[in-house]
Chain A
């Protein structure tokens, strides 16, 4: 490796074949360049998706029940499962440290609502105070449902922005009374929801009030939770999956539902949905790796070809060397050394160019799905290892051929 003579020889052959070496190097350099850029875009896509999910209450877990589809413990299928306050309290008590926001929900579809002469049919949801954050709703005017509303069974309503426009036509709504399914409610707030119009055609009232006026007793339609944030996605996913599983298990045990029944208890875990995106991203990343490596292989074949030609051209020289005592191993070393050198230099040039491009152009890319494309140190190291492996591979076959040259044939005068 640290042999002055050998380095001199390499520089000599490179100097003699500038264009050829340049073109070969170019193919390797562009291979590495493409690989790094692809990997960076993969990372950028992942960053982009991660950002998308950060914007929502991404770790929301909601539970609703339906009809059993399997017979279990002597019970027929087709049973309707109805949750109640006890389920909510159990979940709350078991996970009080982990939960961030929580609410039980009792809602009815199509509650006719009137204000003076205006009327409309909206979804009425009885909720707790935390529900504002679970929905990611923000107040335009007034306030959301609070604990004293719940404790006092107050007849207060928080209406969506769309409902406000339908009924009040830009007039002041706070403090006004609306009739929901014939019962007077005082409007205490107007909210807006990033989910858009469909999410804004709802009216929130205290959970206790809704259970009482609709004769629901302790019944709940659904439970909604978020967990406290974790340090990273993997931990968050793990915690959230564990929580979902525990919740499902508790409900199924309590209502004697078969563990394999998929319809009676439904749990929607946003993080699991996110994970699907991440898995997709990973697949895309592997694909990018594949494409990049194929490009490098094309480069390597180029280097290999050039080395074969060089060996062919130097047949006589190699013959002379062998005649005066060169061992086959030293000939192999000579060819391998040159091949690794050319690949490594070209590869580093490609690496530097791609990293420079990412450094200067990367932060400017701000689309929905690609954010700050970049590669980490590990990836850079991996590409370096790939480079050296590629150089060795490129040199191996030509080197073997060189070692097999018989001096007697090489020295024969043409």
Chain B
């Protein structure tokens, strides 16, 4: 690795209120993933401040970062990132394990969240026995399991076909309706419009930040079916 540094983000100033559902858009290289990583405490900004739930997030050592991630954040990845030798249920229970929740309660909670994403019947299946959409649902259940303040989704539909994408977005919208704050990185216009606000990034700066009329995934789904 070289020592050359590349400034990806060049002054980002924005605020997300509780209960918002924000999509971060931009072409590749615009810095949207870096922004999400900083928000997710997987990366740290060279300059500037970041407050989460009123707490300044800075000078994190590994231990504290791990604790904050566990308490405040839920991650949803493009490639699901499930642990492939663990059952769906065990995958969902993992954040609770790191919270030190005892096994019985852990399993009950995990079951509850699997039910919520509609996969209660698949609890004992391994990830490779599930379809892409199902995997993403398991990942969402896992992100919800620790009851985080914010859900960070990095191209949650990037690996899915349109129908499945809409199903997953419907689920995410439902979660938002219950009051969870959601940040969703995407480069797909239709997915972005399923959020309530779009932040547009280009070359590391915000070029547009405006609320939009949320398209409900269910409607979009119906419309798509009509087209066929």
Which residues of A approach B to under 8 Å, CB–CB?
4-5, 9, 12, 16, 316-317, 319-330, 403, 406-408, 411, 413
Chain A CB within 10 A, most for which of B67, B82, B85, B146: B85
Interface residues of chain A: helix, strand, loop or mixed (majority): helix
Q: Mark B72-83, 1 if CB is under 8 A from A, else 0.
A: 000101110111
- Selected contact of A324 from candidates B43, B62, B69, B78, CB within 8 Å: B69
Chain A CB within 10 A, most for which of B62, B77, B98: B62
With known contacts A320-B81, A408-B37, A408-B42, A325–B63 Cβ distance under 8 A: no
- Selected contact of B67 from candidates A316, A320, A327, A406, CB within 8 Å: A327
Pairwise interchain contact B63-A413, C-beta atoms closer than 8 A: no
Pairwise interchain contact A325-B146, C-beta atoms closer than 8 A: yes
Pairwise interchain contact A5-B97, C-beta atoms closer than 8 A: yes
Pairwise interchain contact A16-B42, C-beta atoms closer than 8 A: no
Pairwise interchain contact B77-A327, C-beta atoms closer than 8 A: no
Sample (18) of A-B pairs whose CB atoms are under 8 Å apart? A5-B97, A12-B85, A320-B82, A320-B83, A323-B81, A324-B75, A324-B95, A325-B66, A325-B67, A325-B95, A325-B98, A325-B99, A325-B146, A326-B66, A326-B98, A327-B66, A328-B66, A330-B98
- B183 CB to closest chain A CB (Å) equals 15
Q: Mark B28-44, 1 if CB is under 8 A from A, else 0.
A: 00000000010010110
A289 and B95 alpha carbons, distance in the complex (Å): 47
Question: Which residues of the other chain, B, contact A329 by a CB distance below 8 angstroms?
Answer: 63
A39 and B170 alpha carbons, distance in the complex (Å): 70
A406 and B66 alpha carbons, distance in the complex (Å): 11
Top 7 nearest A-B pairs (CB, nearest first) are A325-B70, A408-B42, A325-B98, A324-B95, A320-B81, A328-B62, A327-B66
Q: Is B103 an interface residue (CB 8 A)?
A: yes
Pairwise interchain contact A317-B83, C-beta atoms closer than 8 A: yes
Question: Which residues of the other chain, B, contact A330 by a CB distance below 8 angstroms?
Answer: 98
Q: Which B154-168 residues have C-beta < 8 A from chain A?
A: none
Q: Is B180 an interface residue (CB 8 A)?
A: no
Q: Is B111 an interface residue (CB 8 A)?
A: no
Q: Is B94 an interface residue (CB 8 A)?
A: yes
Pairwise interchain contact A16-B85, C-beta atoms closer than 8 A: yes
A229 and B104 alpha carbons, distance in the complex (Å): 69
- B158 CB to closest chain A CB (Å) equals 9
Q: Can you add 12 more A-B contacts, CB < 8 Å, to A4-B103, A323-B69, A325-B95? A: A16-B85, A323-B75, A324-B69, A324-B75, A325-B66, A325-B99, A327-B62, A328-B66, A403-B62, A406-B42, A407-B42, A408-B42
- A10 CB to closest chain B CB (Å) equals 12
Q: Is B142 an interface residue (CB 8 A)?
A: yes
- A387 CB to closest chain B CB (Å) equals 28
- B96 CB to closest chain A CB (Å) equals 9
Closest to B37 in A: A408
